[in-house]
A and B are shown apart, each in its own frame.
Chain A
Amino acid sequence: MGLQESLAAGKFVITSEIGPPKGTHIQEMLADAELLRGRVEAINVTDLQSSVMRLGSLAVCHLLREKGLDPIFQVTCRDRNRLALQADLLSASVLGIKNVLALTGDYASLGDHPQAKPVFDLDSVSLLGVIKKLESGTDMVGNALQGAPKFFSGAVVNPGGNPLEAQILKMEKKIQAGATFFQTQAVYDVGTFETFMKKVARFKIPVLAGIILLKSAGMARFMNKNVAGVFVPEPLIQKMAKAEDRVKTSIEIGAELIRSLKGMCQGVHIMPIGWESKVPALLDAAKL
């Protein structure tokens, strides 16, 4: 079953992600993807994550498709104007890529090419509108297409955003523009997520809660200080600080989190950031 079908069937859906390498050696990345086979419904392929120049998302999505895995093509507005974005969407379609995640994208100066000209010709909301327009058989200015693509398009939302109401207002705009599922920023605080889910229940749209395994107490503190909308509660940080076996404790925390979130949302999106090999153990521990 693909992502769309699983969500439609009301299954608790698991997605994960892989990050393309900087360079052409893809064996390790493909091995990471293999670890996820049969355990997740679909695999996000990040688009120059953190504004760092790498192998592109489109080519990697194609490789996953060839191997019978269901990719989610992440598309940001940072590096391409409206012509290039539409062209890449058509390219994805002819390569059989169906799932698209529309993002605004990190700012260019946060990555390894701070000298780059940031594009942001479109934003996440207008990109979703463009996807819908392409599906209707025209480009964004109304010229007829010879063959229209068909996508399953999603977007992101930050349940820890500030102000939360502004995040939800934007989420609503994304739905209006065409988003049909959501993946969230990393969640650690179950209470905050529950409040968020209650507020967005009226949209009746699938939300996959973001999960990032804590690698150390230092990482948790770093995220609290530097990552917008991420809040790791102090007891979790203490648990990591005191852990004898950090991997084991990290998986326990992650699994417990997934079990607590399971009743609130339609699935989880696991972002391993280097810990791809731990994902199967995490899912085992969470009994998924």
Chain B
Amino acid sequence: MILSQQKSMEEILRSLEGETKIFLLGCGGCAESSGTGGKMQVLEMKGKLEQAGKKITGHTVVDFLCQKALVQSRLRGKVNEVKEADSLLVMTCGVGVQAVAAVSEKITHPGCNTISLGGMRGEWQGSERCQECGDCVLDFTGGICPLTACSKSLLNGACGGTTKEGKCEVDQEMECGWKLIYERMEKLGKLDKLRRVYEPKDHSKMMPPKGLRLSDRWALEQGK
């Protein structure tokens, strides 16, 4: 299963700055087992955000958020609540956040950090989308992960190797991840977010903390 951990309320509120109407998404799969994005945590988050003065336009829990087609069909039933929102807060792994971003024209904020995929790639297969860095940056990159979409996993923008056609110099079949990120942020009117100088990754955050290794799903897989 995919292990995730909720981001701190402080970080979540910082990412929602300037936005008042939020739509919440949870996942009935791994995020529920991790105790980070199931129905219970979504309702808890709703309460905390309302306390912080936000309006929750709606919420839903999908199993599984990493299945892009399923997310798209579920959101169709919530089209007005989503439309009313300034942004979406997605409480699941990095694959789920990217699946939501791919089917929506709204800013998608990650509510969790993904720590380990535990051998699972999620239900949106075809390419690697999450590197379990434990410190999700999708908030700053329009829901496209620079760690997996960029050959060099750069955090601060494209290198000099973007071809005229917008492909990656390393593999000309591959789109330049940072070009995709730039275009998405431009479309969302959030280019300012790309001005942030991103600190080097803290690789120690990739280690799953002991508490997370005690979840039911983890125990099942260990045969306990």
Contacts and interface: CB of A to CB of B under 8 A. Distances in A.
Interface string A146-178: 000000000010100111011101101100110
Contact of B155 (A126, A169, A176): A126
Contacts of A177: 197
Interface in B160-174: 160-164, 166, 169-170
Interface stretch (B1-9, B146-154, B205-213, B215-223): B146-154
A140 to B, nearest CB: 8
B162 A162 contact: yes
B169 A110 contact: yes
A165 B186 CA distance: 11
Q: Which size bracket describes the interface of B in this complex?
A: 20 to 34
A173 B195 CA distance: 7
A194 interface: no
Contacts of B156: 123-126, 170, 173
Given A156-B160, A228-B163, A125 B197 contact: yes
A249 interface: no
A264 B198 CA distance: 32
A96 interface: no
Q: Which size bracket describes the interface of A in this complex?
A: 20 to 34
Contacts of B179: 162-163, 166
Interface string A196-220: 0000000000000000000000000
B182 interface: yes
Contacts of B158: 161, 166-167, 170
Contact of B200 (A110, A122, A165): A122
**Could you tell me the dominant secondary structure of chain B's interface residues?**
loop
A280 interface: no
A106 interface: yes
Contacts of A21: none
B160 A107 contact: no
Given A120-B152, A123-B152, A176-B197, A166 B157 contact: yes
Given A121-B200, A163-B179, A229-B162, 17 more contacts: A82-B200, A106-B161, A107-B151, A122-B200, A123-B152, A125-B155, A156-B160, A162-B162, A162-B166, A163-B183, A166-B158, A166-B182, A169-B182, A169-B191, A170-B158, A172-B195, A229-B160
Interface of B: 151-164, 166, 169-170, 178-179, 182-183, 191, 194-195, 197-201, 203
Interface of A: 82, 104, 106-107, 109-110, 118, 120-126, 129, 140, 156, 158, 161-163, 165-167, 169-170, 172-173, 176-177, 185, 228-229, 231
14 contacts: A104-B160, A107-B151, A107-B161, A110-B169, A121-B201, A123-B152, A123-B159, A123-B200, A125-B198, A126-B199, A158-B160, A162-B179, A169-B182, A228-B162
